[in-house]
Amino acid sequence: MDTHTHFYDPTRPQGVPWPPAKDELLYRTVLPEEFVTLTRPLGVEGTVVVEASAWVEDNAWVLELARRHPVIRGLVGRLEPGTSAFAAQLERFRKDPLFLGIRVGWGQLQESLERPPFLEDMKRLADAGLSLDTAGGGFIVEAAARLTDAVPTLRVVLDHLPFEKEVPLSPVKGRPGVYAKVSNFWNEPGWADAAARVLEVFGEDRVIFGSNWPVSLRQGAYAELLQRARGFIAQAEAGAGPKYFRENGQRAYGWK
């Protein structure tokens, strides 16, 4: 299971807010048929889509896409916690079993982490059994610790580890509801050491595989990244592969 992909279609009448048209690599139609053709021979059976678009109705667009393409096992959507619209939006989308959680960027976390309305919405998210994804650098480690102090039942997935600059991970060590998505396969000699530190802190029960495809094409072909992912989990105890590639992600996201 690949827990981090993006699907979008710039040819829609409304276009897309991401990626920008000037991005020559990514600005093209990217749909599940291409993903299946690319990954099924490699043993990938399904994916969780992490929505890059901030348009609320694009959550519905991906969920409809998932109904036509069973390779999509769930969506981490985009809503705006801390706003008056959030509760109603959450109630709308949580009714769909394919809606697994939401994504919030580090900038919003910095602005909102101390605001009571934001924390109330984090509790709504946790009470609904949904998860929170976040990305954007080292601040998200501290934010995850503070969020799970405030809302202990919230499951948090830290996207795109290991970081390219060394960041203390100790604030989330031993927190069972905080997961590391090892999905940043940067091409530098220090990657293996950085990945080993992630495994040391999170352990084999809290690391999750994600490719970040098609953005990952900047770092190499899908098969190359998958090979590096297998090398990463091979450092753990025997039998950790199924945890990294499927079981931990299912616990973090709760896909059916």
CATH number at residue 205: 3.20.20.140
Q: What is the mean pLDDT of each run of 10 residues along the chain (256 residues)?
A: 98 97 98 98 98 97 98 98 97 98 93 95 98 93 96 98 93 97 92 96 98 97 96 94 98 94
What CA dihedral angle connects 201, 207, 210 and 216, to 10 degrees? Answer: 20
**Ramachandran quadrant class, 6 (left: phi over 0; alpha: psi -120 to 50; beta: rest):** beta
pTM score, whole prediction? 0.96
Total count of domains within the chain: 1
Note the pLDDT of residue 244: 98
Q: What pLDDT does residue 168 have?
A: 94
The range of the structural domain enclosing residue 152 comes to 2-253
What per-residue confidence (pLDDT) applies to 136? 87
What is the pLDDT at residue 90? 98
